[in-house]
Homo-oligomer: A and B are copies of this chain.
Amino acid sequence: MGSSVIEKPLLAALSGRRVSPPPVWLMRQAGRYLPEYRAVRARARDFLELCYTPDLAVEVTLQPLRRFPLDAAILFSDILVVPHALGAELRFVEGEGPRLEPVFDRAGLARLGAERLHERLGPVYETVRRLRRALPDRVTLIGFAGAPWTLAAYLVEGRGSKEFLRPRVLARRDSALFGALVDLLTESVIEFLSAQVVAGAEALQLFDSWAGVLPESELRRWCLEPARRIVATLRARHPEVPILVFPRGVGACLRLFATEVGAQGLSLDTGVPMAWAAAELGGPSGPTLQGNLDPVALLGPEDRLLEEARAILLAAASRPHIFNLGHGVLPETPPERVAALTRYLKSGGE
């Protein structure tokens, strides 16, 4: 009171106001496309050590902010730290992605437990604490977690997949078992995100990367309901911290997430036409829309890149909007394209 507090643009947008130019950050803005990231990555034995070493995780989180005029930093971590903290064996195979010990029966579920969740995730909270102190005033610190369905899908499949058939079959053949797994993950995600807020996260994003493989009835049960529960519990505990949900690939079912989850923000994947989203997803009282430039546009010519960014700005102009990609920055992305994009956005898209 008295001293002038400048509201952070990203938080302003998530409070339902149109901010001009809109705040911008990019999913996977810290990552392999940056040479300075690769240098730090080389200092860690493996990817998980990078996630669990606050010195290194803080450094890579901050790297893109030194280069580009971004309005948010997202904690550098991985969605699979939650299953890992629940006791699932996890390793990242170079060039092939994650491998987990698959959970397909009650014995597999019984091996998981939340007893040591906070202890194991302590280094992540420490990273959040340090980031909050290190970030400039205008930059919002975003914490995140994988959504229960997506985490359960990796746990049951044991790895990444195009179709995630094993979890989809298990969810139907033994919905009690699958439901118990999703419940454990839902509770753990709530505790994990809550601890990130206590450590200093100012906004949260829930990544449901594989929601798109489910039909509506299964989506309601395994994605929408857990998201609603997570959002309601966190909003009750931390009413000042807005939440973004990212149900990737759900198409027309985005309407359910816009109207039934209660999150302040809805992140759109590449396939969603922003004009459709702005018109159909709740109107001016609906959630703030985030997105949704094709990450591949950063690998093409600059004029097309800026043209597509401009089309998104125009289509979202009637709504509170956070500019982002529709998926993560690709490792092959030239950093100068990210520079050109963010410069363009900060110039008001002219």
Contacts and interface: CB of A to CB of B under 8 A. Distances in A.
A270 interface: yes
Most buried by B among A162, A168, A173, A296: A296
Contacts of A4: none
Given A215-B271, A271-B214, A326-B215, A299 B251 contact: no
A301 interface: yes
Interface string A214-255: 111111000000000000000000000000000001111111
A341 to B, nearest CB: 14
B251 A173 contact: no
Interface string A193-227: 00000000000000000001111111100000000
Chain A interface helix/strand/loop/mixed? helix
B217 A172 contact: no
Interface stretch (A106-114, A139-147, A149-157, A272-280): A272-280
Contacts of A12: none
Contact of A165 (B271, B296, B326): B296
A217 B173 contact: no
A165 B297 CA distance: 11
A299 B167 CA distance: 12
A294 interface: yes
A178 to B, nearest CB: 11
A213 B249 CA distance: 9
Contact of A299 (B172, B277, B299): B172
Contact of A249 (B168, B271, B304): B271
A300 interface: yes
Given A215-B271, A217-B308, A311-B217, A301 B251 contact: no
Nearest to A300: B172
B215 A304 contact: no
Contact of A252 (B162, B173, B252, B296): B252
29 contacts: A162-B162, A168-B294, A168-B296, A169-B300, A172-B296, A172-B297, A172-B300, A172-B304, A173-B299, A173-B301, A212-B249, A214-B271, A214-B294, A215-B270, A215-B271, A215-B292, A215-B297, A215-B308, A215-B326, A216-B273, A218-B294, A219-B271, A249-B249, A251-B252, A251-B254, A251-B271, A252-B273, A252-B276, A252-B277
Q: Which 5 A-B pairs have the closest CB atoms?
A: A251-B251, A172-B300, A215-B294, A216-B273, A168-B296
Given A173-B299, A215-B293, 5 more contacts: A172-B297, A215-B271, A215-B294, A249-B251, A253-B271
